Amino acid sequence: MSESANSGQAAAGQGRRQGEGSAFWTYLLKRLGAALPVLVGVTFICYAILSAAPGDPVRILMGQHYDEEVANELRSNMGLDKPFIVQYGMFLGRVSRGDLGRSYVKNLPVAEYLAPKFSNTIQLTLVAMFIAIVFGVSAGIISAAWNRSFWDYTLMLLAVAGISLPVFWLGMLLQLLFATHLGWMPVSDMSYSGNPEALWNEVGGNYMLWLWHMSIKFYVLPGVTLATVPMAIIARLTRSSMLEVMKLDYIRQARAKGLGYSRVVVTHALRNALIPIITVVGNNFAVLLTGAVLTETVFQWPGMGRAMVEAINQLDYPVVLGGVMIMAVVFVIVNLIVDLTYGLVDPRVRYG
Amino acid sequence: MKQFLRQIFRHGSGFVGLVLVIVAVVSGTFCGTLSPYSPTYQYRGQEKLPPGSVISGDEAKLASYEDNGQRSSGSFMWGTDSSGRDVYSRVLYGARISLLVGVISTVINVLIGLLIGTVSGYFGGWTDTLLMRLTDTFFAFPGVLLAIIILATLNNDEVKSVLGSISGSIDPGIWGLFIALGLTGWTGIARVIRGTVISLREKEFIEAARAVGCSNARIIILHIIPNCMAPLIVLATMQVAYNILSEAGLSFLGLGIQPPNASWGGMLATAKNYFAEMPWWGIFPGLALALTVLGFNLLGDGLRDILDPRLKVRT
C-alpha cells in the first residue's frame, strides 16, 4: 500500500519533470524554427544587395589576364550567367552543406580565411564583455543603492557620456595617452612580435610578467575601448532595473526583519533585477562581436570586422556573404542562449 | 509648448542637451557665415599650424592672394590640418553633414518603423508574424554591417554621377548615407510602436471610432498614430544620436563622406595618422561629435522623463 503510494508519487514527480522537460524542448524547437527564416532572410537581403553591386567578380578573379572566352566559361562554371534566384538557391544549397565558398581575392576557402579572424574577434569581445559586465553592473548597483546621491549622478553622467562617445575617437585618445605618451601599452597589434625566449630572459623568468608582455597588455586598450558603450548601457539598465525592484514590498520586508542594506541589495534586489540585465548583455554581446569594426580599425586588430570591410572594398563577395552568415548565426544563437538562461535565473519563468 | 519649455528647463540634464543640440544646429545651419575660411581651401605654407596661430605680414599676403584677396591678416583659431585647411571651418561644415544625415536618416527610420509597427500591431495575425519576422531579420544584421553593404553597392560611378548632379556643393556620398542608415535603423522604433499599438487597439475610443464606421486607415492615422507620439519623439531623438555616430563611423572607415569634403568622421580618419604630432586636428572634431551626440542623448532622456516616463532605457 505504502509502496504503491510511493511509486505513484515518484511517477507523478517524474511525470511533472518530464512534462517540464518536453516544454523546454518544444520551446527550443519553436525558437529554432523561428530562427531559420531569419537566417534565410539575412542571406537573401545580403545576396540581393550584393548582386546589384558594381564590379564583375570574374574580372577580379582573372586580374590582368582577362580573356573574354575564358571569362565566359568561368561565369557559367560559377553559375553567374543564371538568373538571380537560381544563383541564390545554389548558394543556399552550398551553405547548407557547410560550404561557404571560396574567396575571390585570397585564394582560400572562406571558412578557412575567416576562422582565425573570427577567433581574434571573439577573444577581444570576451575581454570587452567581461570589463563591461564587471564595471557596468557595479556602477549600476552603486547608483541604485545610493539613489540620488553624488555618486549616482556622477556615474550616470559618465554612463551617458559613455553612450555618446564615438568609440574610434575614444580609442584614439587612449592610444595617444597610454601608448604614445606614457608608453604603458602597445599602440596596436595583438601579441609580442619579438622573440619570446629573449623576452622570457628579460623579465627574469616571471611567468605573469612574461604573459603580460607577450599578450595580455595588447588586449587592454582595445578591450576598454570596445567595452565603453555596453558598459554604459549595462550600468544604466542595472540602475533602472534595480530601482524598480527596490520599490517592492519584499525588499522592505527583508530590511524590516533586520538584514543589512548591502545584503538586501546584492542578494534580494540584484537577483530579481537580473533578467533585463541578461537581455541587454546578450544583445550587446552580439553587437560587440560583430560591430567591432571601428575598434579593430583603430588598433589594427586582425579581426572579423576589418576583414569584412576589406572584403567589401575588394568586392570579395563570398567572404562578405560568409561573414554575414557567421555573424547572423552567432546573433541568433546568443539570443537563444539569453532566452534560455531566464529559466535558470528566475524559476518563475516557464517556457511556453 | 510653454509648459514643455518650463519642464525641460527644470530638467537639468535635458536642458543641457537642448542647449548642445541648439549649438550644433546653429553651427550646421549657418556654417557658411560663421566659418572664417573655406572648409576645403588649402593654405599653402600654413600647414600644421597649432591652434591660435595668427598669420600676418608676408604670410598673410600669401594667404590673401590665394584666397582671392579677401584676407589681409587672420588667425587659425583651432589650427590647420596637414594640408593647410582651417580646422575650425571644417568642424563647422562637419556639423552640417552630421545633422543632415542624422535627421534625414532618422525621418526615414521613423516612416518605416511607424508603417511596420502600426500595421503589424493593428492587424495582428499573420500580417504581424510576417512583419515581425522581417523586423527580426533586419535586426539580426550586426551593427553598421548592412549599412556598409548598401554603401558599397551605391559606390559606383553611374550612381555617383546621377547623385552628384543633384547634390550641388554637398558631397554626393551623403545620399548613400541617407539610404544606408535610413533603411537599417528602424527596427527598434517598429517594435516599440507595435507594442504601443497593441495596447491601444482594445481601448474604448478605438472601438467607438470603429463603431461609427471609420475605415482602418482613418483609425490608424487619426487615432492610433497621434497616441504613439510620445514614445516616437523620444526614440527618434535618440535615433538621431545613433545615426550621427554611425555616420561618423562610416566616414571614418572611408565609406561615407569623402575627403576633401568636411565631415567629423572623415577628419578623424586622417587626423589619426598625425594624432601624436598634431593632436588639435583630432581633438576638435571628436569633441564636436561627442558633444552633439551627448546633446541628443541627454535631450532624449529628458523628453522621456517628461513625455513618457514608463518608456524604459532602450539601446
> How confident is the model at residue A283, as a pLDDT?
77
Cα gap B224→B118, rounded to integer Å:
8
Query: Are residues A234 and A281 in contact, defined by beta-carbon separation less than 8 angstroms?
Result: yes
C-alpha cell at A246: 527596490
Instruction: Give contacts of B142 with chain A, Cβ < 8 Å.
Output: 286-287, 289-291, 327-328, 331
Nearest to B290 among A52, A165, A328 (CB): A165
Distance from CA of A45 to the nearest CA of B (A): 9
> How confident is the model at residue B16, as a pLDDT?
92
pLDDT band for position B154 (cuts 50, 70, 90): confident
Helices A271-291, A304-313: inter-axial angle, 10-degree rounding: 40
For chain B positions 114-133, those within 8 Å of chain A (CB to CB) are: 133
Residue B55's DSSP bridge partners are B74
> How confident is the model at residue A340, as a pLDDT?
80
HSE-CB for B2 with a 13 A CA cutoff: 0
Has residue A157 got a pLDDT over 80? yes
Nearest to B268 among A168, A233, A308 (CB): A168
**pLDDT tens-place string over residues A243-257:** 888 888 888 888 888
Q: Do B149 and A309 touch (CB under 8 A)?
A: no
Alpha helix positions (H), B30-144: 31-34, 57-66, 87-123, 125-139
A350 vs B252 pLDDT, higher one: B252
Question: By CA distance, what is B152's nearest residue in A?
Answer: A312
Judged by a CB distance cut-off of 8 A, whether residue B1 touches chain A is: no
Query: Are residues B89 and B37 in contact, defined by beta-carbon separation less than 8 angstroms?
Result: yes
- Longest CA–CA span in chain A (Å) reads 90
Nearest to B145 among A163, A237, A290 (CB): A290
The residue-averaged pLDDT of A74-90 equals 78
pLDDT band for position A5 (cuts 50, 70, 90): very low
pLDDT band for position A101 (cuts 50, 70, 90): confident
> How confident is the model at residue A15, as a pLDDT?
43
CA angle B164, B165, B169 (to 5 degrees): 65
The residue-averaged pLDDT of B55-70 equals 57
pLDDT band for position A290 (cuts 50, 70, 90): low
> How confident is the model at residue B61, as a pLDDT?
55
pLDDT band for position A19 (cuts 50, 70, 90): low
The residue-averaged pLDDT of B65-87 equals 70
Nearest to B253 among A45, A52, A293 (CB): A293
Can you tell me whether residue A23 is helix, strand or coil? helix
One-letter identity of residue B65: Y
Output the average pLDDT for chain A.
81
Provide DSSP, B155-214.
-SHHHHHHHHHHHTTS-THHHHHHHHHHTTTTHHHHHHHHHHHHHHHTSHHHHHHHHTT-
**pLDDT tens-place string over residues B273-295:** 888 888 888 899 999 999 999 99
Has residue A6 got a pLDDT over 80? no
> How confident is the model at residue B18, as a pLDDT?
93
Has residue B220 got a pLDDT over 70? yes
Judged by a CB distance cut-off of 8 A, whether residue A320 touches chain B is: yes
Distance from CA of B72 to the nearest CA of A (A): 36
Has residue A267 got a pLDDT over 70? yes
Question: By CA distance, what is A329's nearest residue in B?
Answer: B140
Determine what percent of chain B is predicted with pLDDT higher than 90: 38
Judged by a CB distance cut-off of 8 A, whether residue B148 touches chain A is: yes
> How confident is the model at residue B294, as a pLDDT?
94
Question: By CA distance, what is A291's nearest residue in B?
Answer: B143
C-alpha cell at A289: 562581436
Judged by a CB distance cut-off of 8 A, whether residue B13 touches chain A is: yes
> How confident is the model at residue B291, as a pLDDT?
95
Question: By CA distance, what is B276's nearest residue in A?
Answer: A176
HSE-CB for B95 with a 13 A CA cutoff: 26
Q: Do A328 and B140 touch (CB under 8 A)?
A: yes
Q: Which of B236, B104, B111 is nearest to B170 (CA)?
A: B104
The residue-averaged pLDDT of A197-220 equals 77
Has residue A10 got a pLDDT over 70? no
The residue-averaged pLDDT of B190-210 equals 90
The residue-averaged pLDDT of A112-117 equals 91
Residue B76's DSSP bridge partners are B53
> How confident is the model at residue A9, as a pLDDT?
43
Query: Are residues B99 and B91 in contact, defined by beta-carbon separation less than 8 angstroms?
Result: no
Neighbours of B47 (CB within 10 A): 14
pTM of the model: 0.85
Q: Of A71-75, A174-178, B17-21, B110-114, where does mean pLDDT reach its minimum? A: A71-75
H/E run at residue A323 = helix A317-345
A258 vs B95 pLDDT, higher one: B95
Helices B264-271, B229-252: inter-axial angle, 10-degree rounding: 30
Instruction: Give contacts of B312 with chain A, Cβ < 8 Å.
Output: 237, 240, 276
> How confident is the model at residue B295, as a pLDDT?
95
B247 vs B43 pLDDT, higher one: B247
- The pair phi, psi for residue B74, each rounded to 5°, is -175, 170
Q: Do B143 and A41 touch (CB under 8 A)?
A: no
Distance from CA of B219 to the nearest CA of A (A): 31
Neighbours of A25 (CB within 10 A): 10
Q: Which of B265, B292, B267 is nearest to B280 (CA)?
A: B267
What ipTM was predicted for this assembly?
Answer: 0.84
Judged by a CB distance cut-off of 8 A, whether residue B27 touches chain A is: no
Neighbours of A55 (CB within 10 A): 16
